[in-house]
Amino acid sequence: MYRIRRATAADAGVLARHRAEMFRDMGELPDGLYDTLVEAARAYVTQAITDGRYVGWVAERDAEPGEIVGGAGLQLRELLPRPNPGRERLVHGPQGLVVNVYTERAWRRRGVAEALMRELVRWCRGNGVESIVLHASGEGRPLYQKLGFTPTNEMRYDGTL
């Protein structure tokens, strides 16, 4: 029904729209910022895929090549060495921050997000990524827990910077 492939800079427009739709679905994006977010995300993803800061995957329909029904991305960042959760070795990084996991509404509950995430984790294992983190929506949390993600002690600063 669909195949998973690596995203390219040519997919940036779709990935940017997915980002805006994801925030809209969570009730976090006012209508007045929708187009601004799409354009900013498109510009970022285009550049970040090109320079390697962002690795993404898309689910593309077999019957309609070019029709993307879902996507997932990974921002790569270097970490200072630190103990791993089991405290038996050091983690050096890079760390992958999972972003933009989104499935088109008509394709939800068909395993698209799970297939994308399994490919993302497989890629991390084969490319020296030692740590993966994400911020889960309430709807996404059961999938991430099924795949082995656990809640952590992360906090966010909400003050003015």
Write out pLDDT tens, residues 30-75. 999 999 999 999 999 999 999 999 999 999 999 888 899 999 999 9
Residue 152 lies in a domain: no
The residues pairing with 43 across neighbouring beta strands, listed in sequence order, are none
pTM of the model: 0.92
Here the tokens at position 56 are: 């993404």
Chain-centroid distance of CA 33 in Å reads: 21
The domain tally of the chain equals 1
| Domain of residue 84, CATH code | 3.40.630.30
Q: Domain of 40? A: 2-146
Tell me the pLDDT of the chain averaged across its residues. Answer: 94
In a domain, 31, yes or no: yes
The runs of H, that is alpha helices, within 2-160 are 12-25, 34-51, 112-126, 141-146
User: How many angstroms separate the CA atoms of 29 and 12, rounded?
Assistant: 19
> How far apart, in Å, do the first and last CA atoms of the chain sit?
46
Which is nearest to 49 in space by CA: 67, 75, 23, 21? 75
